[in-house]
Structure 1
Amino acid sequence: MEKITHSAEETIEFAKRIGSLLKKGDVIAYTGGLGAGKTTFTRGLAMGLGLEDNVTSPTFSLVNEYHGANISLYHFDMYRIMSADDLETTGFYDYPAQESIFAVEWSENIAEELPENSIFINIERIDDNTRKITVKGDERFDTAWN
């Protein structure tokens, strides 16, 4: 599925719809350059999951955690991770993947470590406001924006 958004608000609305369809054990694997809108999209995912936390970039912390009554979202930044050994040092494998949702920025850096059923979201910055968002890996999202 592909969607063009024309503002951060529209990107968040689209992500909210995707977030409302997520289930425990899902892994969102983001690709897209710096400033593409991965954290903005994650903000919408959290809203769609019913999480009320203020979602921020995990650039310096490597992971931000958002917990709700029924689900947790772990938002990872793998920008500086270049190997499986690097990934091990982040504690990535210690998080409860099957009981929560992972959103992984710079997922291409850990491509071999991602589960086969990952949901791939590429965000391409067209201009200051416009994004081309491509969602692959699960047909349940094919009608998220109708």
Structure 2
Amino acid sequence: MTIEYTLQDLPDVAEKIISNVTSKIILFDAEMAVGKTTLIKEICKHLGVKDIISSPTYSLVNEYESKEGLVYHFDFYRIKEEEEAYQIGFEEYLDSDAWVFIEWPKKVNRLLPENCVTITIDLLDDKKRVLSF
């Protein structure tokens, strides 16, 4: 599926993603400042997360409670080796049956299961993006 969108379209985009993905483990593949965290925030809202949703750039993972259970949001931008993810129990999060959103998944590529969905986001201009999964 391919979706072209602006910030105003994010609630609809989140709905389409949640309704159409085939896995609860979603990888967000995009360059810096394209809107990965912004999209994840909207998806979390759609799942019923009431907490303040922020980027886990320094903590590596944020945990949220949603109406559908736990949501884990990873940001691996700052890790240097996959071992760092392994040390925080990353594989246990993947086996948890929770929603798992991962920014910078290429940094932990060898630790990812096959049943992930990859969302690719590209910047079309300063207001429009296109995503595919």
TM-score range, shorter chain: 0.7 to 0.9
SS of 2:96's equivalent in the other structure is: helix
Quote the offset at 1:39 in angstroms. Answer: 0.7
**Deviation digits for residues 20-49 of structure 1 (CA, Å, limit 9, x no counterpart):** 5568x7210111011111111111211221
Q: Tell me what 1:57 maps to.
A: 55
Q: How does 1:70-89 map to 2 (within 5 A)?
A: 70-89=68-87
Aligned match of 1:107 in 98, 102, 105? 105
Give the gaps of 5 or more residues in structure 2.
none
Aligned equivalent of 1:10: 9
Q: Distance in 1 between matches of 2:52 and 2:18?
A: 15
Q: Which amino acid aligns with 1:122?
A: T
Match of 1:41 among 14, 36, 39: 39
Distance 2:25 2:13 in 1: 17
Alpha-carbon distance change, 69 to 4 in structure 1, aligned in 2, over 3 angstroms: closer
Instruction: Please tell me the residue identity of whatever aligns with 2:4.
Output: I
The equivalent position to 1:27 in structure 2, one of 19, 25, 28, is: 25
Equivalent-residue separation in structure 1 for 2:86 and 2:17 (angstroms)? 29
TM-score (norm 2): 0.86
Query: Share of identical aligned residues, percent?
Result: 32
What's the TM-score once normalised by structure 1's chain length? 0.79
Aligned length: 133
Paired position in structure 2 for 1:123:
121
Structure 1 gap ranges (5+) = 136-146
Deviations 1:98-125 (A, max 9, x none): 3311000001111121110101001112
Amino acid in structure 1 at the alignment position of 2:15: K
2:121 partner letter: I
